[in-house]
């Protein structure tokens, strides 16, 4: 559990490293909501607040990926990172593995934070 509490700190790179001010503000919200939720996982409000910032940040990143002129190799890397995150979270939810595994879930959730941060950082500075 301690791993997922401190792993959102990686989102500070997305706040500092982004050239897009909207992206930075979304990551400020995501950083704050993620820290708060991972500190108090019993709060339904914090869960939905975190989900909101995850969704909005993902949609904003997806729109940049769709409309920005990006090299095909970079685009493929970004899609691969997205698919890894999707697998860790949603496939893991369906089959109680990865992020939803009883013993290793926190580790995979931490990796999910790092991979998503890397993908969005690549997208925002490219």
Tens digits of residue pLDDT in 8-56: 999 999 999 988 999 999 999 999 999 999 888 899 999 999 999 999 9
Q: How confident is the model at residue 2, as a pLDDT?
A: 67
Q: How confident is the model at residue 15, as a pLDDT?
A: 95
60 band by pLDDT with thresholds 50, 70 and 90: very high
Q: How confident is the model at residue 94, as a pLDDT?
A: 94
Tens digits of residue pLDDT in 65-86: 999 999 999 999 999 999 999 9
125 band by pLDDT with thresholds 50, 70 and 90: confident
Range of the domain at 57: 2-125
pTM metric for this prediction: 0.91
d(CA 35, CA 126): 27
Q: Say yes or no to pLDDT of 5 above 80.
A: no
Long-range contacts of 7-14 (CB under 8 A, 24+ apart): 7/38, 7/109, 7/110, 7/113, 7/114, 8/34, 8/35, 8/38, 8/113, 10/113, 10/114, 10/117, 11/113, 11/117, 13/117, 13/121, 14/117, 14/120, 14/121, 14/124
Number of domains, the chain = 1
């Amino acid at each position: 559990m301690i791993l997922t509490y401190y792993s959102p700190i990686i989102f500070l790179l997305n706040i500092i490293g982004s050239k897009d001010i909207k992206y930075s503000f979304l990551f400020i919200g995501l950083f704050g909501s993620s820290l708060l939720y991972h500190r108090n996982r019993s709060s339904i409000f914090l869960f939905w607040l975190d989900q909101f910032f995850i969704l909005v940040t993902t949609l904003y990143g997806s729109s940049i990926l769709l409309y920005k002129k990006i090299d095909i190799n970079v685009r493929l890397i970004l899609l691969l990172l997205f698919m890894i995150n999707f697998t860790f979270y949603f496939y893991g939810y369906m089959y109680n593995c990865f992020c939803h595994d009883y013993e290793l879930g926190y580790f995979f959730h931490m990796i999910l934070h790092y991979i998503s941060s890397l993908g969005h950082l690549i997208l925002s500075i490219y």
